[in-house]
Amino acid sequence: MTQKKHTPPLHIVIVGHVDHGKSTLIGRLLYDTNSLPDGKVEELQEICKRRGTDVLEWSFLLDSYQAERDQAITIDTTQIWFKTAQRDYVIIDAPGHREFLKNMISGAAQADAAILVVDAKEGLQEQTRRHAYLLKLLGLQQIAVVINKMDAVEQAQKRFIEVSKSVQDYLASIHLSATHILPISARHGTMIASRDETMSWYDGPTLLETLDSFQSHTSRQDAPLRFPIQDVYRFDEKRILVGRIETGSVKVGDTLFFSPTNEKAVVTSLEQWPEREPRKLKAVAGESIGLTLNQPIFVERGHLASHEQEETLPFLTNVFRTHLFWLSHKPLKVGNSYKVRYGTNEAMVTVQSIEKVIDTQDLHDDTSSGEVARNEVAEVTLRARNLLALDPYEENARIGRLVIYENHDVAGGGIISMQGYPDQRQIAPKSQNIYE
């Protein structure tokens, strides 16, 4: 499938409680956007007939994707594509897939937006709350809540208002809000690509209209520049710093400020592969680039470039708080050391204290065990040996996240907070120039 010019694909994740209709919704989205390969619908009708269901079970479609995926080796096959007139969409994985949470937390699969599916009959359930909390910790801010199976409830409008309110209340209590809440029937395709008379009382946007109103990472261009250095290449005399611009933009002639070294240099060129004429003079969030500097200052993988204006610099600190989701079978405890990765940097940290262990069902604070067990959410304070350049999540949702590793495996992850901790940049010694 080709990408639309200038509009990057929007990566979406679909979450929600067991049986609330995630797979059915995916199947229906593919059908309604004509994204299914020829013959798939006939194949599905055949399967449904064999299994004795009189209505089309769209979730069976996902079973066939799952079967293909189980045999596949490449990560790409865990992505399902569809498109609208506006742009292309990628559905990242499907919950229930073993590696789903790890991929989401590690950022291997980074979503721009989420659809939270809630069964109109059952309302808010355990996994609805847990997944909503996870969306918060993944830094997702574009959320469409769909109240599904509207065809199966009596007094639909009244029920929709009731369920919407309970979802909104829960989201508000974790400081999250839905961009849109809409009633749908995934099975019958109501309010997905089109509306029908069964829900004439609803006059808001359909699901596809809602998704089309979301922004992909182009919107990150307006934020302050964050360019985490991935690698430094040397070609003869030339030294090229490579990486992906996470937020903001950079131009030839800009003065860059590097953290944590507090060094400055001016951008002399932007490099592209393969080389193209005319040479690029500006690059923006989402682009992977290489650049050269006017001075041989010391820069290595993990350093973070920003613009020199003071108010836009990242924090420099050796102690910070994180609001995390824990995945490892071994509990997180005070005194434990872990490797963390944020941006392109890795550092060793020690757990200094566990502030809160949060029960995602009723949000009460339960720190009595003194540790954070698998699938728990917590606020902990971490201490590093060196000064780290960080952005709190509140200031930069893209960079302000971290992943915690235990023996090379993802153990947890979450968002960074600097609440209660000062920026230590002023006391940081300026590093000495190292000429290479």
Q: Footprint of ligand GTP on this chain (CB under 6 A)?
A: 16, 18-24, 57, 59, 96, 148-149, 151-152, 185-187
3-state class of 277 per DSSP?
A: coil
* Count of residues near Mg ion by CB under 5 A: 2
Q: Which does 19 bind (CB under 5 to 8 A by kind): ligand GTP, Mg ion, none?
A: ligand GTP
Write out the binding residues for Mg ion, residues 42-101 only, by CB under 5 A. Answer: none
In angstroms, what is the minimal distance from the CB of 416 to ligand GTP?
31
* 7-36 binders of Mg ion (CB under 5 A): 22-23
CB 264 within 8 A of CB 298: no
SS3 409: strand
* Cα–Cα distance measured from residue 28 to residue 299, given in angstroms and rounded to the nearest whole number: 49
Which one, 126 or 365, has the nearer CB to Mg ion? 126
Q: Which residue has the tokens 């990408």?
A: 3
Q: Which is nearer to Mg ion, 23 or 206 (CB)?
A: 23
- Closer to Mg ion by Cβ: residue 101 or 289: 101
Q: Shortest distance, CB of residue 405 to ligand GTP, whole angstroms? A: 28
CB of 212 to ligand GTP, least distance (A): 21
Name 201's bridge partners: none
Query: What is the smallest separation between the CB atom of 59 and ligand GTP, expressed in angstroms?
Result: 4
| Residue 24 binding: pick among Mg ion, ligand GTP, none (C-beta 5-8 Å cut-off by kind) | ligand GTP
Phi-psi region of 370 (alpha: psi -120 to 50; beta: other; left: phi over 0): left
Which of residues 64 and 168 has its CB atom nearest to Mg ion in the complex?
A: 64
Closer residue to Mg ion (CB): 148 or 322: 148
Give the three-state DSSP class for 427: helix
- In angstroms, give the least distance from the CB of 320 to ligand GTP: 35
Distance CA 344, CA 167 (A): 35
**Residue in this structure with the two tokens 């065990």, named with its chain if needed:** 369
Largest CA distance in the chain: 74
**Cβ-based nearer residue to Mg ion, 57 or 88:** 57
Residue 92 CB, shortest distance to ligand GTP, in Å, is 15
Least distance (Å) between residue 37 CB and ligand GTP: 20
- What one-character-per-residue DSSP string does 383-398 give? EEEEEEEE--TTT-TT
Q: Which are the contacts of 205, defined by CB distance < 8 A and separation ≥ 6?
A: 180, 182, 213
Q: 21 or 412, CB closer to Mg ion?
A: 21
| CB crowding 115-152: b at 16 or more within 10 Å, else e | bbbbbbeebbbebbbbbbbbbbbbbbbbbbbbbbbbbe
If contact means CB under 5 to 8 A according to the sort of partner, which of ligand GTP, Mg ion, none does residue 422 touch? none
* Least distance in angstroms from the C-beta of 4 to ligand GTP: 29
- Residue 292 interface partner, choices Mg ion, ligand GTP, none, CB cut-off 5-8 Å depending on type: none
Q: What tokens were used for 313?
A: 């610099």
Residue 97 or 121 with smaller CB distance to Mg ion = 97
Closest approach of Cβ 96 to Mg ion, in Å?
6
The token pair at 265 is 């240099």
In one-letter notation, the amino acid at residue 267 is: V
Indicate the residue type of 276: R
Q: How far apart are CA 76 and CA 164, in angstroms?
A: 35
Under rule CB under 5 A, residue 128 binds Mg ion = no
* Kind of pairing between the strands at 332-333 and 227-228: unpaired
Picked from Mg ion, ligand GTP, none, the partner binding residue 212 (CB below 5 to 8 A depending on kind) is none
DSSP, collapsed to helix, strand or coil, labels residue 326 as strand
How would DSSP label each residue in 285-303? TT-EEEEEESS-----TT-
Is the Cβ of residue 189 or residue 343 nearer to ligand GTP in the bound state? 189
Q: Which residue is nearest to Mg ion (CB)?
A: 23
380 touches 404 (CB < 8 A): no
User: Least distance from C-beta 41 to ligand GTP, angstroms?
Assistant: 16
Q: Which is nearer to Mg ion, 32 or 57 (CB)?
A: 57
63 binds, among Mg ion, ligand GTP, none (CB under 5 to 8 A by kind): none
Enumerate binding residues for Mg ion (CB under 5 A).
22-23
